Structure 1
Amino acid sequence: MHTMWKGTISFGLVNIPVKLHSATENKDIKLRQLHKECKTPIKYERTCPNCDEEVKSEEIVKAYEYAENKFVVLDEEDLENLKKEQEDKAVEIVDFVKLEEIDPIYFEKSYFISPNEGGSKAYSLLRKALKDTGKIGIAKIIIRSKEQLAIVRIYENTLIMETIHYPDEVRDYQEVPNVPEEEDLGKKELDTAKNLIEQLTTEFEPENYKDEYRTALMELIEAKKNDEEVTTAKPQPTPDNVTDLMEALEKSLEKTKGKKGASKKKTQKKKATQKKTEDKEDTKKKTS
């Protein structure tokens, strides 16, 4: 399992060297966008609308827009120093609370925690203490240049860290439009709804739930592939200096031939006219 973070988790005077591993994975089927005409993958480019040209990665800087079209540019060195300063700090569990006190709206992403070298005993100590008390730890951690609020809890036989949103990141429910106030509901309607809930109530077993859309989409893709309903993108032409040079030479030659032919015809016409004039003059002299 890939390690995406290494550091130390501490509670009190106990320090646990640990590693984080992503506990979930996105299994969405990624579909590419092709040009309908030639079935070539679409290319997206970063361009500057002011300079009207493509911008390379090394030409891009980061900035904060504090007012419309007004920016504070941040140096990459300053950001790296700030990031390192925060990452060097140990992840300290500052509080212990009950899991049910945290509404699920706060939860964001889950990471398995494994002990790093020399951390097995302290890891086991925290796991046992959390299990016996029924509590979870509240901590802060820097992940991908962002300070995250997180909880540390037990999942099966493993410690898990789950990043959670800060309160100001959760929108105010009072801003949700068209939410009805308490309404007078008939007893019969309410009893029927409650009975329906009771009939559908069961133990939560995750394996009973499947992504039916993803399964159907993969079946469709496989069926088309087996029926050879596939398309291959045309190879994109690569610049060839020799070909370009030959093409330019041939076009120049054709152009030159055209000019030469026109010039030759013009000369022949001029000579023919001149000969006619001379013949007329000779005829006049003989008549005289």
Structure 2
Amino acid sequence: MRSIWRGAVSFGLVSIGVKLYTATEDHDIRFNQVHATDGGRIRYRRVCSIDGAEVEYSEIAKGYELPDGQLVVLTDEDFEELPLASRREIEVLQFVDQGEIDPIQYEKTYYLEPDPSATRPYVLLRDALENAGRVAITKIAIRSRESLAALRVKDGVMVLHTMRWPDEIRRPDFAFLDEDVAVRPQELQMAEALIGSMTGAFDPTEFTDDYREAMAELLEAKQSGGEVQPLPETAESGAAVVDLMSALRRSVEAARGGASTEETPAERTPARKATAARKATRAADEDAAPARRTTARTTAAADRAAPAARATPAKKATAAKKATAAKKVTAAGKATAEKAPAKRARRTA
């Protein structure tokens, strides 16, 4: 494990050097956002909304918008100057029974490891808390955010739970709380009996994440079935793409039926505009598609609506033409047959 914070637990006149470690970790199956058509990774860039330029992280500050619309900009130096005593100190404020803390207030959990020179006072505070059956209420600042925290003992290690401030806990405002809902005693008795029959010792290892297991099986099945593809090569960041306005202009013209078929020279912009251009083109094509489908349906309907009476004369005319052509072919054949003996007679003479 890697520590995320280093400071001291301040307990009266005693200061105990400690390091903080995150006590939990996620085992969720993580996915990357990719383009569905080619598998390319979706990238997000920090872009200024005024000049459109990409901004380096070192040039980013924090801004607070005032009610009148004005902006107060704070830099890292401004935050460093704040008088935050709990920045490197876990200050013990009081001791309480653990049952007095509503679990809804708990936020994140951390392990405390003593510095090599602070092992003895660490063990002293740990044993005192455990023997008294108490929890220490403290304050700590992690990443420029000060929080209340509960310090308790678990498996021989002091554990710190950061807590929400009282004004961060939302109150349930549901209509049914003001309604008089009647419950029959028999129903209540049966519900209590069901609870009693399902009561047991809590063992978290008995429960599994069914969704995660199903997702893992799905991924394994796709892999064994050959439904995989190599990672695509990333396009160069400076590649030129069609300008957004040019794409929009041509898309609108196409949607109107091709009022202007000549292509205007495409202006070029940095590659970060590519996604917007593709989205705009697709949006305009989607707008044009209904018009094309409507025209096709109208033409087909007009063809079907033609009077059936016209079909009969057409068939007769076709038959007459075929008969005439057949007669001409027959007559030509006979004439050829009559001429053939005469030609042979002349060659013999």
TM-score bin, normalised by smaller chain? 0.7 to 0.9
Distance, in Å, in 2 between the alignment partners of 1:131 and 1:229 is 55
Which residue is equivalent to 1:52?
A: 52
Distance, in Å, in 2 between the alignment partners of 1:92 and 1:61 is 30
Distance, in Å, in 2 between the alignment partners of 1:67 and 1:111 is 37
Q: State yes or no: 1:73 paired with 2:73.
A: yes
Distance 1:230 1:20, change over 3 A: same
Which residue is equivalent to 2:18?
A: 18
Name the SS of the counterpart of 1:198 in structure 2: helix
Contact 1:138 1:152 survives alignment (8 Å) = yes
* Structure 2 stretches lacking a partner, 5+ long: 240-349
Higher RCO (C-alpha 8 Å, min separation 6): 1
Letter in 2 for 1:110: T
Name the SS of the counterpart of 1:137 in structure 2: strand
Distance 1:131 1:239, change over 3 A: closer
The answer to which of 60-69 and 16-25 deviates more is 60-69
Q: CA deviation at 1:128?
A: 0.9
Letter in 1 for 2:121: A
Distance, in Å, in 2 between the alignment partners of 1:144 and 1:81 is 14
Distance 1:221 1:149, change over 3 A: same
Distance, in Å, in 2 between the alignment partners of 1:198 and 1:159 is 34
Distance, in Å, in 1 between the alignment partners of 2:231 and 2:218 is 20
Contact 1:41 1:233 survives alignment (8 Å) = no
Contact 1:106 1:170 survives alignment (8 Å) = yes
What is the CA RMSD across the aligned residues, in angstroms? 2.1
- Given the two structures, how large is their TM-score scaled by the length of structure 1? 0.77
Q: State yes or no: 1:104 paired with 2:103.
A: yes
Which residue is equivalent to 1:207?
A: 205
Which residue is equivalent to 2:92?
A: 93
Letter in 1 for 2:227: E
Distance, in Å, in 2 between the alignment partners of 1:22 and 1:94 is 23
Distance, in Å, in 2 between the alignment partners of 1:240 and 1:165 is 46
Distance, in Å, in 1 between the alignment partners of 2:80 and 2:167 is 26
Q: CA deviation at 1:45?
A: 1.9
The answer to which of 177-186 and 113-122 deviates more is 177-186
Distance, in Å, in 2 between the alignment partners of 1:162 and 1:85 is 19
Name the SS of the counterpart of 1:120 in structure 2: helix
Name the SS of the counterpart of 1:48 in structure 2: coil
Q: State yes or no: 1:196 paired with 2:187.
A: no
Distance 1:81 1:178, change over 3 A: same
Distance, in Å, in 2 between the alignment partners of 1:239 and 1:153 is 51
Instruction: Identify, as 1 or 2, the structure richer in strand.
Output: 1
Distance, in Å, in 2 between the alignment partners of 1:240 and 1:109 is 42
Distance, in Å, in 2 between the alignment partners of 1:85 and 1:190 is 52
Q: CA deviation at 1:182?
A: 4.1
Number of positions where the alignment pairs a residue of Structure 1 with one of Structure 2:
239
Q: State yes or no: 1:129 paired with 2:128.
A: yes
Name the SS of the counterpart of 2:117 in structure 1: coil
Distance, in Å, in 1 between the alignment partners of 2:47 and 2:207 is 44
Name the SS of the counterpart of 1:91 in structure 2: strand
Letter in 2 for 1:26: D
Distance, in Å, in 2 between the alignment partners of 1:240 and 1:115 is 51
Q: CA deviation at 1:60?
A: 2.0
Name the SS of the counterpart of 1:232 in structure 2: coil
